[in-house]
A = this chain, B = another copy of it.
Amino acid sequence: MKTQRIVVPALEEILYKDHKVLDHGFIRVIDYMGDDSSVVQAARVSYGKGTKHVNQDAGLINYLMRHSHTTPFEMCEIKFHVKLPIFVARQWIRHRTASVNEYSARYSVLDKEFYIPDHSQISEQSCDNAQGRGEVLPEEFSQEVIDIFQHDAALTYSNYSKFLERGLAREISRINLTLNCYTQWYWKVNLHNLLKFIKLRADKHAQYEIRVYAETMLDIVKLWVPLTYNAFVEYCLEAKALSRNALNVIRKLIDGQEVSRESSGMSKREWNDVMMILEK
């Protein structure tokens, strides 16, 4: 149909289409509002003639992103249909500034679909990262894990089905299902809060299973608002915040002075993080 609104041809092409994520999940763009020019338009109503020295859209968007002038990025909106495992949904929902309608297992019957990790994701507990994964485990063990995941999911789902057949209320029957069971929802969010989500969840410290959703959404952002995407990568995703102490160390290093962890005021962890940033 015809519209007078802002249209993004690259996004129109993928509208309603599945982006596969994990074994049974997906992300679909259902609707969107605005594009890069909407960010610029909102900034210009704020700054009026104050923006004339930044007379190109890319320059203005870079400026906004670099100075954390975030409100113009709230002027774009996007709506996704997402299918995802419940344990991923539990992390996702912690992002409060979004609208959500989730499939309700009080009203309806959940599909028989479970997330079963690949061998490549059956990893040991990380030694240096209390929340993460380390090395992949031997295939013998990982096969055993996969078998148990499949067995337990099948068992609990068959009990769930049996309960429903025999008339047990849906809202009780479902409590026996496992956390890798899939759910789905509509998730609507503005561009600013979407970028915050991606920043946190596309990070290497995020759990793999939510990271792949965040990465898919980052690809979608690139199609939707390419100037904002560039600014986001440059000033946010691949930028680093350096503390007062870290900046002092850097000034000394540039000056050719000696530095040491002990005199820097930094903890071991921060020192290591900073050194890694400087070497990369």
Residue from the list B132, B175, B256 in contact with A171, Cβ < 8 A: B132
Whether the pair A250, B278 counts as a contact (CB closer than 8 A) is yes
Residue of B nearest to A49 (CB): B108
Q: Does A213 belong to the interface (CB within 8 Å)?
A: no
A38 to B32 CA separation, bound complex (whole angstroms): 12
Is A247 a contact partner of B240 (Cβ separation < 8 A)? yes
> Chain B contacts of A51 at CB under 8 A?
107, 130
Q: Which of B2, B124, B174, B247 sits near A1, CB closer than 8 Å?
A: B2
Would A242 and B244 be within 8 Å (CB), given that A5-B32, A101-B45, A250-B254 are in contact?
Answer: no
A/B interface sample: 24 pairs, CB < 8 A: A5-B12, A42-B101, A46-B101, A47-B130, A48-B108, A51-B107, A71-B101, A74-B188, A75-B188, A87-B174, A89-B90, A107-B131, A121-B172, A123-B169, A125-B169, A133-B171, A145-B163, A148-B159, A177-B178, A178-B178, A238-B247, A239-B244, A240-B241, A247-B280
Please pick, from B104, B137, B245, the residue contacting A47 in the complex, using a CB distance under 8 A.
B104
How far apart sit A174 and B62, CA to CA, in the bound complex (Å)? 29
Q: How many angstroms between the C-alpha atoms of A68 and B123 in the bound complex?
A: 26
Give the residue of B1, B49, B167, B188 whose beta carbon is less than 8 angstroms from that of A137: B167
Residues of B contacting A178 with CB < 8 Å? 156, 175-179
Q: Which residues of B contact A26 (CB under 8 A)?
A: none
Set of chain B residues within 8 Å of A12, measured between Cβ atoms:
2-5
Q: What residues make up the interface of A, taking CB atoms closer than 8 Å to B?
A: 1-7, 12, 15-16, 31-34, 38, 41-43, 45-51, 53, 59, 62-63, 66, 71-72, 74-75, 77, 79, 81, 85-87, 89-90, 93-94, 96-97, 99-104, 106-109, 115, 117, 121-126, 130-134, 137, 141, 145, 148-149, 152-153, 155-156, 159, 163-164, 166-172, 174-180, 184-186, 188, 190, 207, 233-235, 238-247, 250-251, 253-254, 256, 267, 269-270, 277-280
Interface centre among A169, A174, A244, A246 (most CB of B within 10 A): A169
Residue numbers in B under 8 Å from A97 (CB-CB): 96
Which of B71, B100, B149, B172 touches A100 (beta carbons < 8 Å)?
Answer: B71
Contact between B234 and A251, CB atoms less than 8 A apart: no
